């Protein structure tokens, strides 16, 4: 079997570039979410929920959905109710 080293290196560079872009996207969204941007809070929850740009983490997803819902995001409220079975008042998070 003959390998084209140039193509292999190019593919490696492309994939590592994707990881860099993913890392930047996650960090930017995380920073905005922490600073109160409700859309970023929802996106961050979705990243954790789906395992996008970061390892899937249900507890973190639930937390960020809760934060977004508490800040008035109706999509987050709906997801909490339907996916996490939390249809109560979002202003007090129960442990």
Domain boundaries, the chain: 5-83
CA distance 95 to 88: 13
Other Cβ atoms less than 10 A from the Cβ of 44: the count is: 28
How high is the pLDDT of residue 87? 76
Parts of the chain with a pLDDT under 70: 1-21, 88-95
How high is the pLDDT of residue 91? 53
Other Cβ atoms less than 10 A from the Cβ of 39: the count is: 14
Residue 5 CA, chain-centre distance (Å), reads 35
Model confidence pLDDT, tens digit, residues 27-52:
899 999 999 999 999 999 999 999 98
| Token code pair at residue 24 | 């930047």
Global pTM value: 0.71
């Amino acid at each position: 079997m003959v390998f084209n080293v140039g193509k292999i290196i190019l593919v490696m560079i492309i994939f590592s570039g994707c990881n860099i872009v993913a890392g930047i996207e996650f960090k930017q969204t995380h920073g905005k979410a922490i600073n109160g941007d409700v859309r970023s809070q929802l996106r961050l929850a979705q990243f954790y929920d789906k395992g996008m740009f970061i390892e899937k983490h249900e507890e973190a997803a639930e937390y960020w959905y809760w934060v977004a819902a508490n800040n008035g995001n109706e999509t987050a409220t709906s997801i909490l109710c339907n996916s996490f079975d939390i249809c109560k008042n979002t202003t007090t998070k129960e442990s």
